[in-house]
Amino acid sequence: MKEKLIKTMDLKNGMTLNFYDASRPIVGDRWLISLIVRMEIPVVEALINDEGKSMDSVGEIKKVLGGKVLFEQKRDRVFVGESEKQTVFEEVYNFFIDSVLGYLSNNAFPKRYVLKNYREKVERESWYH
């Protein structure tokens, strides 16, 4: 089974989370239950309200990362019986909502995630030069 968009959620920080079901059979009546959560974060929009960043540094960050950064998390449960797959998927989804949604909804999350990606990419590139 390919990924199937099952829900879109607008967050209070202006970002949108997309939830995908990527579950698939693995052997016999056993399934891999897979929830994928994605959010595209526009680089300029995430940084524009940051008083500590000049437009030059925002431009540099955009040059390194491009226009958007993709946040993605995947949650899997393996070897789930076919009769339990819907219940287990709902448990995985609810656990994600309960444990991570507040963090992703925080107004500071988009900026922090963009800056983290920028630092990591600059550091990786510095290893090769």
**pLDDT above 70 (res 109):** yes
Listed residue (12, 73, 71, 5) closest to 39, CA to CA: 71
Q: Is the pTM of this model over 0.95?
A: no
pLDDT of residue 22: 98
Beta strand spans in the chain (E): 4-10, 16-21, 24-27, 30-42, 68-81
Count of CB atoms within 10 A of residue 111's CB? 21
State mean pLDDT over 114-129.
88
